[in-house]
Amino acid sequence: MDTTEFRRRGKEMVDLIADYLENIEQRTVYPDVEPGYLRSLIPEEAPEEPDTYEDVVKDIERVIMPGAASPACTELETVMMDWLGKMLKLPEDFIAGTHGQGGGVIQGTASEATLVALLAARCRAVRMILASDPQRPETGITSKLVAYSSDQAHCSVERAGMIAGVRMKKIPTEQSDKYAVQGETLRRMIQEDKAAGLIPFYFCATLGTTPSCAFDHITELGPICNAEKIWMHIDAAYAGSSFICPEFRPLLNGIEFADSFNFNAHKWLLVNFDCSTMWVKKRSDLIGAFEMDPLYLKHDHQESGRYFCTDNSLFRSLKMWFVFRIYGLKGLQDYIRKHVELAKEFESLVRADQRFEISADVVLGLVCFRLKGSNEVNETLLKRINNGRKIHLVPCLLSGQFVLRFALCARTTESRHIREAWQLITQLAEEVMQELPH
């Protein structure tokens, strides 16, 4: 949608809202629909080709209004998470459908999803142990639990451990392994911890780490977790969107071993913030860990569904519905592919310049690079680049080396922006190198 169409559609939407407000007293205050009413009103999968904007807007009255905010919100969320799960070719276990035990739920951020999974895992672990040893005090169990994640994992994983009050151990990674967690390392840590009387219960794998977009080997790690009854959560916050393209889907192989999986649809799938999409194999694991039952939350259909939705007032699934239909699966794939191509274009420019080096494999839309030389010269270059305020780079440390990260993330980025950015970077690099003492 270009800005000309945006102006027209935006104004139509303002009128739609005003009409709704003017006529609100003609509507009932509570919906009159049966649980599951929504699923039959819309297709089972996202369209390949875009729908028309008119059709999308017409469906607000046809599909949403009969169910008002609730249950329409929960039902649309369940179905949209199925649509997206199918776009990602998730195993059937993660799809709610009408009879599945798994399904998806929208969180605000990947940090929330990591925490929610950790809390569900803690609850499952405590219940499993109490089932075999009912006399054991619960606080005694919690104090023995141990969780794991990569030393490349996002800091929110460590914070989730702090919040849940459990040990979180970082698994060391190596440059020679491309910063991916190895099965052998996890296996050894588990054995050592069990020998010391601890109870391993949670592993957060990362697909696409923040520093270098590294991918943990989940095909190796998953079976270890399954054998040890360790909850495996997969955090693919950034990389997850790319798995809708068949050529990137192999990066998700091993998902069948996971208990939960999450990525940020708001990061790279054109859905506005916030919309972090999370799937679990067993909805009951999540519901059971947070369930409360006061009278003021009871309703007539208490026992009919047991689906979940984190927030009825934000209605985040509407954004997914609009985006999936306005772009179609093909439009979204095109968008992902374009960013990866632009990253490859930037990588070629770096590789063609002898003064620079690439610091990690370019798999998706992130290019890690640096000037051959000291950390100081790279820090100076970064400062010079960011002070110009034309482009903005966020650095990282990889094996002690200060690395610049060029990340593709704007909807409107074109090849000319890549070339302009590189021209600016090389010009500033030249200045920085000339100022160096010889």
Q: Which is nearer to its own copies, 255 or 286 (CB)?
A: 286
Stretch that binds its own copies, among 162-170, 223-231, 249-257, 357-365 (CB under 8 A): 162-170
The DSSP symbol for 120 reads H
* Using rule CB under 8 A, residue 29 touches its own copies: yes
Q: Which is nearer to its own copies, 274 or 347 (CB)?
A: 274
* Using rule CB under 8 A, residue 159 touches its own copies: yes
Q: How many residues bind its own copies (CB under 8 A)?
A: 59
Walk across the sheet containing 167-171 and list its strands: 103-107, 276-280, 260-264, 231-235, 199-206, 145-150, 167-171
Stretch that binds its own copies, among 57-65, 82-90, 227-235, 382-390 (CB under 8 A): 382-390
Q: Which is nearer to its own copies, 11 or 419 (CB)?
A: 11
* Using rule CB under 8 A, residue 65 touches its own copies: no
Pairing of strands 167-171, 145-150: parallel
Please report how close the Cβ of residue 92 comes to its own copies at its closest, in angstroms.
31
Token pair in block for residue 436: 């160096």
Bridge partners, residue 167, by sequence: 146
Instruction: Pick from 71, 78, 81, 122 the residue near its own copies by CB under 8 A.
Output: 122
Q: Which is nearer to its own copies, 10 or 43 (CB)?
A: 10
Q: Tell whether the torsion through CA atoms of 55, 57, 60 and 61 is positive or negative.
A: negative
Q: How far is CA 219 from CA 223, 255, 435, in A?
A: 7, 8, 49
Burial class (CB in 10 A: 0-12, 13-18, 19+), 310: middle
Bridge partners, residue 150, by sequence: 171
* Using rule CB under 8 A, residue 165 touches its own copies: yes
* Using rule CB under 8 A, residue 419 touches its own copies: no
The DSSP symbol for 88 reads T
Which residues inside 170-229 make contact with its own copies, applying CB under 8 A? 210-211
Pairing of strands 231-235, 260-264: parallel
* Using rule CB under 8 A, residue 352 touches its own copies: no
Q: Is 134 within 8 Å of 146 (Cβ atoms)?
A: no
* Using rule CB under 8 A, residue 246 touches its own copies: no
Instruction: Pick from 352, 389, 434, 438 the residue near its own copies by CB under 8 A.
Output: 389
- Give dist(CA 355, CA 280) in Å, integer: 47
* Using rule CB under 8 A, residue 7 touches its own copies: yes
Task: Using the structure block, give the residue that is written with the tokens 């690395």.
Answer: 403
* Using rule CB under 8 A, residue 133 touches its own copies: no
Token pair in block for residue 191: 């054995």
170 phi/psi in degrees, rounded to 5: -90, 130
In sequence order, what E strands does 126-217 have? Answer: 145-150, 167-171, 199-206
Q: Which is nearer to its own copies, 4 or 434 (CB)?
A: 4
Instruction: Pick from 17, 131, 195, 196 the residue near its own copies by CB under 8 A.
Output: 17
- Give dist(CA 87, CA 336) in Å, integer: 13
Stretch that binds its own copies, among 55-63, 160-168, 188-196, 336-344 (CB under 8 A): 160-168
- Give dist(CA 400, CA 100) in Å, integer: 47
Q: Which is nearer to its own copies, 217 or 339 (CB)?
A: 339
User: Any idea what the Cα angle at residue 42 is, between residues 74 and 80, rounded to 5°?
Assistant: 45
Instruction: Pick from 412, 434, 437, 438 the residue near its own copies by CB under 8 A.
Output: 412
Stretch that binds its own copies, among 52-60, 175-183, 294-302, 422-430 (CB under 8 A): 294-302
Binding site for its own copies (CB under 8 A): 3, 6-7, 10-11, 14-15, 17-18, 21-22, 24, 28-30, 32, 108, 119, 122, 137, 139-140, 142-143, 155-156, 158-159, 162-166, 210-211, 266, 273-274, 289-290, 292-297, 311, 313-314, 386, 389-392, 394-397, 412
